Amino acid sequence: MPVDATKPYVPASTEAPRMPGRPRHRLPPLACDAHCHVFGPYDRFPLQHPSSYAAPDAPVGRYLHMLDTLGAQRGVLVQPAPYGTEAAALLDALAAGGERLRGIAVADPDISDAQLQNLYDGGVRGLRFVEARDPAGRLFPGSVGFDQVAALAPRMRQFGLHAQLWAPSEAYLRHLPALARLQVPLVIDHLGSLASARGPGDAAFALLRGLLADGLVWIKLTVCRVGGAPGYEDARRLHDAFVAANADQVLWGSDWPFVRMGQAAPYADALVDLEYEWLGDDTLRRKVWVDNPARLYGFR
């Protein structure tokens, strides 16, 4: 029977996420995994929109165990599209994690000031906007597009919220010049979704690197969404170029539970070890894992 897209629903089946072992390298104290998602428990937090990927069995308890295994004392949870603007699962997880967690919610311009205050009080520090579309040009169900950022920007400034952006790299060329003038911090997901094979002459890469160097954007170093396993060497040029452009505004995230990746999903401990080696020294490691997320997300 087809899913009624107008009603919350419990997935008929779920997919167990890949759980990490202990990394070979120890993360610095107060290290933060700045990009993960929680899903469920679905009997309490049903999905609001049909999911285009297998629904993960990834409730907050499993997520916190994952963080503990990595040795990450802090984490940032990002609202996944199938929950739309319903933040109950996110807020429940943030409450369970207390001061070690912050969140990124999804909202459209109809949200009230009271609701924005409730999100902030619950640990939310940003709103996510997505410009990924299907072949017919429709946004993924549950997403709020880049065209809504300007309408929300004045209240995002009022409530101390930043904009987290995810899109194919070409969409940044169209939208970022205007978004960068809104005086709202902009956080770019997944290395800007760039294709490393395009080389340093890629216009989207040049734009992102320039905005980062000028302090107008932050970039998440989630290499598993750009490079190829197991070594992700094809993502290293992008990673290193962004770190060199502005090491004070880059963040690291595992992207657990690795939706859409199936058997290609990495182990988060391997991603920690890779980042540890790529960063190369303790000063950079502390910036990327501790100081930068503390400043952006307001960890105490």
Q: Which pLDDT score, from 0 to 100, does residue 9 have?
A: 82
* Confidence label for 298 from pLDDT (cuts 50, 70 and 90): very high
Domain count, the chain: 1
Q: Exactly one of 33, 189, 202, 255 is catalytic; name it.
A: 255
Structural domain contains residue 67:
yes
- Mean residue pLDDT of the chain comes to 94
Q: How high is the pLDDT of residue 196?
A: 79
Q: What is the pLDDT of residue 1?
A: 36
Q: Is 126 helix (H, G, I), strand (E, B) or coil?
A: strand
Does residue 236 have a pLDDT over 50? yes
Which CATH number do you get for residue 214?
3.20.20.140
Tell whether 275 is covered by a domain: yes
Tell me what the mean pLDDT of segment 56-61 comes to: 97
- Cα angle for residues 12, 13, 17 (degrees, 5° grid): 150
Q: Which of 229, 230, 228, 244 is nearest to 280 (CA)?
A: 244
For residues 23-27, average pLDDT: 98
List pLDDT tens digits, range 42-52.
999 999 998 88
Mean pLDDT on 160-188: 97
Residue 43 lies in a domain: yes
Q: What mean pLDDT comes out for the span 165-177?
A: 96
pTM over cut 0.75? yes
pLDDT of residue 6: 59
Q: Answer whether residue 101 shows pLDDT above 90.
A: yes
- Return the H-helix or E-strand segment holding 166: strand 162-166
* Domain assignment present for 214: yes
**Looking at the domain assignment, is residue 17 inside a domain?**
no
Query: In this model, does residue 3 exceed pLDDT 70?
Result: no
Report if residue 130 sits inside a domain.
yes
Decide: helix, strand or coil at residue 250.
strand
Distance (Å, whole) CA 52 – CA 54: 7
For residue 2, the model assigns a pLDDT of: 46
Spatial CA neighbour of 184 closest among 160, 168, 213, 211: 160
Overall average pLDDT of the 233-250 stretch? 96
Give tens-digit pLDDT for 190-205: 999 998 788 778 999 9
Q: Is residue 22 part of a domain?
A: no
pLDDT-derived band at 4, boundaries 50, 70, 90: low
- d(Cα 127, Cα 156) in Å, to the nearest integer? 8
Structural domain including 48 reads: 28-297
Q: How confident is the model at residue 5 (pLDDT cuts 50, 70, 90)?
A: low
Give Cβ neighbours of residue 42 (< 8 Å, ≥ 6 apart). 10, 11, 14, 55
- The 10s digit of each residue's pLDDT in 108-165 is 999 999 999 999 999 999 999 999 888 888 888 899 999 999 999 999 999 999 999 9
Q: Is pLDDT above 60 for 255?
A: yes
Residue 16 lies in a domain: no
- Residue 248's contacts (CB-CB under 8 Å, 6 or more residues apart) are 215, 287, 291, 292
Contacts of 271 (CB under 8 A, 6+ apart): 223, 224, 254
Look up 255 and say whether it is catalytic. Answer: yes
Residue 13 confidence (pLDDT): 86
